[in-house]
Structure 1
Amino acid sequence: MDRPLLALTSRPLIGRSPKAAAAETMRQLVQLRWIAVVGQLVAILVSHFALGIVLPLTPMLAVVALLAAANLVFVVTIHRRMIPGELTIALLLDMAALTAQLYFSGGAGNPFISLYLLQVVLGAILLTPQVAGLLALAACAFTAFLNFRHFPLLLPAGDTGLLPIGRWLAFVMVAVLLVLFIARISRNAKLRDAYAASLAQRAVEEEGIVRMGLFASGAAHELGTPLSALAVIIADWERLTIFSSDPDLADEMADAKAEIDRCKAIVSNILHSAGKVRGVAMTSESARQLLETIAQRWTERRPNSRLRTDLAPLGNARVAAEPSLEQALWSLLENAAEASSGLIDLVGAIEDGNVVFAVLDRGPGFSEDQLDCAGRLYQSTKGPGHGLGLFLAANVARQLGGRLSIANRDDGGAEVLMRLPLIASKASE
């Protein structure tokens, strides 16, 4: 199975953002309120018509209707935008509705007065300590009011078993609802914490990239002078008779000059990229042409390595590219060559609206530790050919809206896949 590196792409970050977590909590409260609406309606009708308890149906059913209407309003706001304090308002509304129902059905003597604890516990979990304290004070005030002001609860004559049953049912309701709701809230909180951890991890990675970029640009600036000096020395040597009269020495000198020119070009690209704002240098390029160019240059650079390409499936597909993308793909080929002296495959394909670049080698593959730690800054191990280049390539893929994944092949060797969003094809432009 593929292991994603810096997998903060298709779903940008793991878990839920604080806003998404708050919205999910609100959805849970809405579901809980629908349970309350149905439960109150059933309890009122059964108590009045089946158990013979005389209740003022009109005001109690009106409270149920108002609670249902308020819940519909909350449903609409969830899909739009949550306002500050909406959770507090929701819990206070539930508490007020419970107070109204208890007022019309016996006040503090009603067994279901213990449902206040449900609101207080939820407030302690979801709200700040100050707001939760105010909610607890409100519950205390409501219960005190109900001790002195309420409609009497008229039970059937001689029936003394209803109150104990009611107290037991109230306890069961509170226990079950607390377990169900708190379990969901706990899961929601874990997702929120995972999101925060992902943000922290991304910050560390981005900081590392900045530090490496500063170091690379500084090193490139310092390398410019000795490379220029070497170029001058080689130019002087080429004019010596010993080199012009010996074809082998002349060829070696030409190779040395070409390598110095390549080093100077790399240094220039680093300095040039360091002075550019990300996005300005981004262009739309043919994916197939990009890989063909890299493959040709890499083969010339490593004539003893065997590289096989299969790029026809790319067709005219285009991707967003910048200089760092070419460097990242080059690094993946270098890793594959260091891992194995055998055949290396460079494959291109189109999958689910993405351009996929695959580098396959015949080496020993990744160890479990490398699969778990690869792509993490300062934790990448330079095993058989797989090191910091994976982290840099993964970061480039992420910045371009894609992702990098690694895996071990069933028939041996390693597989590195870079997925980038498909921009367009010439046929569709």
Structure 2
Amino acid sequence: MKTQSSTDIAQGAARRNLAYLGRMRWIAVAGQLLAIWGTVMLLEVALPWRQMLPVVAFLILLNLVSAWRLRRGQTITDLSVAAELLMDVACLTLLLYLSGGATNPFVSLFILQVILAIVLLPRRHAAAILLATVAAHGWLTGNGVPMELPHLWHGDGPSFLNLHLQGMFLSFLLAAGLLTWSVTRITANLRDRDAQIQTLRQQMLEEDHLVRLGLLSSGAAHELGTPLTTLAVTLDDWQTLGAPQGAALEEKLAVMQRELSRCRQIVSEMLLSSGQERLEEAHGMRARAFLEDAIQGLRLPVRVRVDARCDPVIMADPMLEQAVRQLLDNAVEAGSRAIRITLSPDGPDQLAMVIEDDGPGFPADILADPGQPYLSSRDGVGRGLGLYLTGNVMRRLNGEMRLANLPDGAQVTLLLPILEDAT
């Protein structure tokens, strides 16, 4: 199952809201046609219905275009929804102008457009709809084709039979019903969107934590390799040749104790780091100082040379430090005898941290898809996670990882955002 992004979730909610708006417009069109027919045929009121029908036809066309856009999967923006609401306001204004202007009891339907804009749109777009309805209502106050209504339905009778009062009541009933139907569905849709986005954020936090644990575990495995190898070689020698005696035994035991202490320290550091939040540990730091700190914690059998052609401030994230260490460990394990790290600008707001070695280079399958886990040129459980985890770290820092083979080695380029240029 494909994981949706926050943009996909928001777009899905916008499409459903536009579909609700289209259904309301169909109801409005049906109501307008029924009102025109009833006023002309039943009440025998002279209406310019020939001028009113093209306005209703335009609303029908607008709804068909909106449905076509939804069917084709076009992007729905706040501006497009605001434009449709403005066209609804314009059409309602024309229909009211042709049927009495502000004296038409259905002038209160303007409030329907305003409330929909408040629910569906951001503040500035909703304010535009409000201003448009106020301007339209104000214009209709002094303009409109007069419409003479018979005062009573049948002779004398209670005031409720006054057609203007009936129209006001029907307008209230229609607006209240449509608002109840539409706003409840739209707000439920928005709540569902917010719930989906919250779930997505939780998944991203969990994924971020898993990537962090993966980096820590992978780094710890690399660091544990040296002391465990020392212990394994010593014990193998004792099993084959026998344990030494006297001072030699004490010296060997002291070495083994130091290596065991180193193992415990590595595991303790991993457990401590796994319980800390990444953003709380991250801080701005000069790129060269960051690299020196990262290299200092390693005991590499090769020389690492840093060539700093610039020294901007970057986000010194522990996950990035662990990723750099992972890349250096991988280079050594691949057989590299020399490693060079170059810091150079890559545009005005990006740093290129280029790690080059003289090893055998990357296999073709890794170069083709460096984001695929468990691709490795070496055998062993857990191999191939380093590049995958490093790529995830770079994405979370708004950076990028690129791989390439050199004529005499491999090259990894980490593109990092710059927080502050070097002075």
Aligned to 1:104: 98
In structure 1, the residue corresponding to 2:372 is in which secondary structure?
coil
With over 3 angstroms needed to count, the CA separation of the structure-2 counterparts of 1:15 and 1:179, relative to structure 1, is: farther
State the alpha-carbon separation in 2 of the partners of residues 14 and 194 from structure 1: 11
Give the residue type in structure 2 aligned to 1:111: P
With over 3 angstroms needed to count, the CA separation of the structure-2 counterparts of 1:55 and 1:282, relative to structure 1, is: farther
1:15–1:192 contact (8 Å) kept in structure 2: no
In structure 2, the residue corresponding to 1:17 is in which secondary structure?
helix
Aligned positions of 1:344-423 closer than 5 A: none
With over 3 angstroms needed to count, the CA separation of the structure-2 counterparts of 1:175 and 1:281, relative to structure 1, is: same
> Identity, % of aligned pairs?
38
Name which of 32, 38, 52 aligns with 1:46. 38
In structure 2, the residue corresponding to 1:279 is in which secondary structure?
coil
Structure ranking higher on relative contact order (CA contacts 8 Å, 6+ apart): 1
Note if 1:62 corresponds to 2:54: yes
In structure 1, the residue corresponding to 2:81 is in which secondary structure?
helix
With over 3 angstroms needed to count, the CA separation of the structure-2 counterparts of 1:220 and 1:157, relative to structure 1, is: closer
2:22–2:67 contact (8 Å) kept in structure 1: yes
Give the residue type in structure 1 aligned to 2:174: M
Aligned to 2:125: 131
In structure 1, the residue corresponding to 2:75 is in which secondary structure?
coil
Give the residue type in structure 2 aligned to 1:215: L
Aligned to 1:167: 168
State the alpha-carbon separation in 2 of the partners of residues 104 and 37 from structure 1: 16
In structure 2, the residue corresponding to 1:149 is in which secondary structure?
coil
Note if 1:82 corresponds to 2:175: no
State the alpha-carbon separation in 1 of the partners of residues 133 and 372 from structure 2: 56
In structure 2, the residue corresponding to 1:77 is in which secondary structure?
helix
Give the residue type in structure 2 aligned to 1:279: Q
Q: TM-score, normalised by structure 1?
A: 0.54
TM-superposed deviation, 1:11: 5.9
Specify every segment of 5 or more residues in structure 1 that has no aligned partner in the other structure, as ranges.
1-8, 243-270, 284-293, 295-320, 325-429
1:105–1:150 contact (8 Å) kept in structure 2: yes
TM-superposed deviation, 1:16: 6.5
State the alpha-carbon separation in 2 of the partners of residues 75 and 282 from structure 1: 47
TM-superposed deviation, 1:222: 2.2
TM-superposed deviation, 1:113: 0.5
TM-superposed deviation, 1:173: 0.7
Tell me the alpha carbon deviations over residues 240-288 of structure 1, each in whole angstroms, 9 at most, x when there is no partner: 579xxxxxxxxxxxxxxxxxxxxxxxxxxxx79x9673316469xxxxx
2:14–2:76 contact (8 Å) kept in structure 1: no
In structure 2, the residue corresponding to 1:154 is in which secondary structure?
coil
Aligned positions of 1:135-214 closer than 5 A: 135-156=129-150, 158-159=152-153, 161-214=162-215
State the alpha-carbon separation in 1 of the partners of residues 151 and 167 from structure 2: 17
TM-superposed deviation, 1:18: 1.1
Q: CA RMSD in A?
A: 3.1
1:104–1:151 contact (8 Å) kept in structure 2: yes
In structure 2, the residue corresponding to 1:48 is in which secondary structure?
helix
With over 3 angstroms needed to count, the CA separation of the structure-2 counterparts of 1:68 and 1:16, relative to structure 1, is: same
State the alpha-carbon separation in 2 of the partners of residues 59 and 149 from structure 1: 16
State the alpha-carbon separation in 1 of the partners of residues 383 and 185 from structure 2: 44
TM-superposed deviation, 1:63: 1.0
1:13–1:198 contact (8 Å) kept in structure 2: no
State the alpha-carbon separation in 1 of the partners of residues 375 and 39 from structure 2: 71
1:48–1:55 contact (8 Å) kept in structure 2: yes
TM-superposed deviation, 1:184: 0.8
Aligned to 1:91: 85
Note if 1:25 corresponds to 2:17: yes
